[in-house]
Structure 1
């Protein structure tokens, strides 16, 4: 019996030895990350492509969302003229859509709206007045500045109308500035040689407006060539552009060209003066298709306009005003076509 047991134990030990390789232990690393690499498999170092992380995310951590397709484009102070559909935009049910559309172009805190004001309704229409007041409140809550925009060439001859119909009524509201689009060269008496009398009236308008505006900031659309030493823009030997700025009026340079370099070239006389005097200003660009190709961004990619605005800001640390909201929205992204 003992002999039989010994033989049985002997055969069992032989069997275990012959099968030992099939039961060799597996390392901890291999069991957790099994990898099979064929001859044509590329490693991470060969492709430089990041490998996907298949680990389940920590439920305590919220993953960072991908960038929005509607991320901002302009990274500079941005003025925008709003001429049309103002009475619709300022209504409560419309303004949120308007603000959302604005956010595509720039940060709210970078935006200054130049809002065209109805000079008849701003004094007498209670519905219009209420909408203006609530629009200003909503804009300010988002960090958007709003300037009252007024435009009438006849104010050059009648400054009292500008004050009575525009300045005084708008001072009753919480605007961030008064913005004038009044240009001397659009006056019927303008000529290409000598406009001193006309320009004296133009300057008097600016002076009276500034005085009547009390502490309110005053902005003025000024063609860049108003700063040149040219007889047609001179008053007592000084260019009208310089005289307007010396009234502590903020110039919005109508530097309408379609590249950053051409904008600088066209505005050279104005830039030399403003930089020397350490003044602030806005460049201004055009987007209307009604203008000639060399002065407007109409028909060009939106990216081109944005790049030029950012370039000007990088060079001068000054913002750019875009003329105007309606035609700006017609510019398309080139990358959307690819």
Structure 2
């Protein structure tokens, strides 16, 4: 009898410790007492389900609308563009409210010119702003990470001197990653799926391979409107990231596109998109690197037909 009682006591104690540990972890995420979700889990307990918020003024004018939509659509990560016209208290308030709902907020910015060395001062200014903000914010007001959308392939210089642009882009990425490391912030970047067609100058390494190695995680812009096509264009990066121990979020488009209806879910609507994403998840889950979806972007997503 004593041994049974002792076993039951140990079992009960173990359960209490496990529950307390889980509760503490959840509270730490919600109240922001850790700088990012990665501090506890390496990645989210569940795959990323993210969206971009480009119009940052919405966190000042309609913060609850943004957060209510995020909650209703199971969004756990928001890429929020840094806008100096939005005041620091507005960022702090929004992030506090987001953290209370277990939503991570990454500070986001970028433009095609950031692929050029001449834009280093702009990049430095962006990182300086983040450093100052993080230093004065309370734990539950801090950004969870940095998210970049640079895309130098749309800059006119890409067509004139592609090799030079790639080299300059590499230099800027190394600068950003080093600054982010000093701030102890994970840094991710949006990359088009076809970037593996281009090589690092003087090397046989694909540009996408170099970028996957440099960033903590990558968001692959697999802009297609069927599960088969989305997985097809993302699978090579998923496989490579898995070998490197990195994570990949697959991005899809909801904005109307001049490139063709096959690029976006604009015509099909949200129910069709969700069905396709479930199919993609089944296919992509064979890769250890797969870490959910990012839907571009908040404003167009919420106006998709049902």
TM bucket normalised to smaller: 0.7 to 0.9
5+ residue gaps, structure 1, are 1-74, 122-126, 334-338
Alignment of 1:1-338 (within 5 A): 76-84=47-55, 86-87=56-57, 89-91=58-60, 94-106=62-74, 110-118=75-83, 120-121=84-85, 128-157=87-116, 158-171=118-131, 172-173=133-134, 174-191=142-159, 195-213=162-180, 214=182, 215-228=184-197, 230=198, 236-291=203-258, 292-315=260-283, 316=285, 317-333=290-306
- The answer on whether the counterparts of 1:199 and 1:235 sit within 8 Å (CA) in structure 2 is no
- The answer on whether the counterparts of 1:196 and 1:235 sit within 8 Å (CA) in structure 2 is no
Q: Secondary structure at the match of 1:267?
A: helix
- The answer on whether the counterparts of 1:149 and 1:180 sit within 8 Å (CA) in structure 2 is yes
The number of residues matched between the two structures is 244
- Matched residues in 2 for 1:161 and 1:202: separation? 14
Q: Secondary structure at the match of 1:257?
A: coil
- Matched residues in 2 for 1:132 and 1:275: separation? 34
- The answer on whether the counterparts of 2:216 and 2:247 sit within 8 Å (CA) in structure 1 is no
Partner of 1:67: none
Of the structure 1 ranges 183-192 and 257-266, higher mean CA displacement relative to structure 2 is found in 183-192
CA displacement at 1:177 relative to structure 2: 0.9
- Matched residues in 2 for 1:136 and 1:234: separation? 41
Cα RMSD of the aligned pairs, angstroms, is: 2.1
- The answer on whether the counterparts of 2:114 and 2:123 sit within 8 Å (CA) in structure 1 is no
- The answer on whether the counterparts of 1:77 and 1:319 sit within 8 Å (CA) in structure 2 is yes
- Matched residues in 2 for 1:206 and 1:251: separation? 13
- TM-superposition CA deviations, 1:190-243 (whole Å, max 9, x none): 139x72221011111111001011211111010111123x45x65522111111
Q: Which has the higher contact order (CA 8 A, sep 6+)?
A: 2
CA displacement at 1:311 relative to structure 2: 2.6
The structure-2 alpha-carbon separation of the partners of 1:166 and 1:297, relative to structure 1 and needing over 3 Å to count, comes to same
- The answer on whether the counterparts of 1:200 and 1:235 sit within 8 Å (CA) in structure 2 is no
Partner of 2:18: none
Q: Secondary structure at the match of 1:318?
A: strand
CA displacement at 1:186 relative to structure 2: 1.3
CA displacement at 1:154 relative to structure 2: 2.1
Larger radius of gyration: 1
